[in-house]
Amino acid sequence: MSSRLSFDIPPLAGVVPKIDPAASSKPALLLDRDGVLNLDTGYVRRYRDFRWMPGAIETLIAFSRANWHICVVTNQSGIARGKYTEEDVERLHADITYDVTTAGARIDAFYYCPYHAESSIDRYRFVDHPDRKPNPGMLIKALRDCGAYTARSVMVGDKVSDLEAGRRAGVMALHFRSQGRLDDFLAESLSKQGAFWNDALSDNARRNDNIMI
């Protein structure tokens, strides 16, 4: 486990919405990967090149405690471009999951899109694939797979294509510009979103402060 991470953090007080008891299902936090969870240094392929975004682990801890679904939705055209393979991506996601689990948080699922219109690899050449953001395919799949409450779910991305995908999937889309801390960004963004979003970490989340997820 990398020593660069500190997990001794306060909750995002006043920020993470609690689950609406009237809702039949929990909302989902849909996260772009490169530029949101980690610094986007270009075609990140291996864990040794993976650098957590400041506040990303803390965000995952807070939303895990608040009992949200948490999914990553990421375009990975590097596969179509022959820069790395699906196996590389899955290995990296396993390494990311190790960090997240060690921190007492979780990511429920990773969705990645390997397709690109100009791929030199036949099986990855696809014009305007429905899963490639700005198309909403991956987001819709994620929401459906976890049975999320779409209208209260959130997509966080660093590119306009992330925001468009979010809007087309019917969730709130937030533009994180890869500057500052992700948890601070979400704290500020969600606090502006009305009563539901203004709720503090739920009582339930506080009571379960010591649970291991």
Stretch that binds Mg ion, among 157-165, 169-177, 185-193, 203-211 (CB under 5 A): 157-165
Minimum CB–partner distance for residue 71 and Mg ion (Å)? 15
Stretch that binds Mg ion, among 3-11, 25-33, 110-118, 135-143 (CB under 5 A): 25-33
Q: What is the DSSP string of 120-168?
A: SSGGGB-TT-TTSTTS-HHHHHHHHHHT--GGG-EEEESSHHHHHHHHH
- The residue written with tokens 């999320």 in the block is 148
Under the binding rule (CB under 5 A), the answer on residue 183 touching Mg ion is: no
Under the binding rule (CB under 5 A), the answer on residue 32 touching Mg ion is: yes
Q: Which of 110, 158, 165, 169 binds Mg ion (CB under 5 A)?
A: 158
Coil, strand or helix: which one is 69? strand
Neighbours of 109 (CB within 10 A): 16
Stretch that binds Mg ion, among 15-23, 29-37, 94-102, 184-192 (CB under 5 A): 29-37
Catalytic residue, chosen from 8, 20, 32, 131, is 32
Under the binding rule (CB under 5 A), the answer on residue 78 touching Mg ion is: no
Angle at 147 between CA 22 and CA 90, to 5 degrees: 140
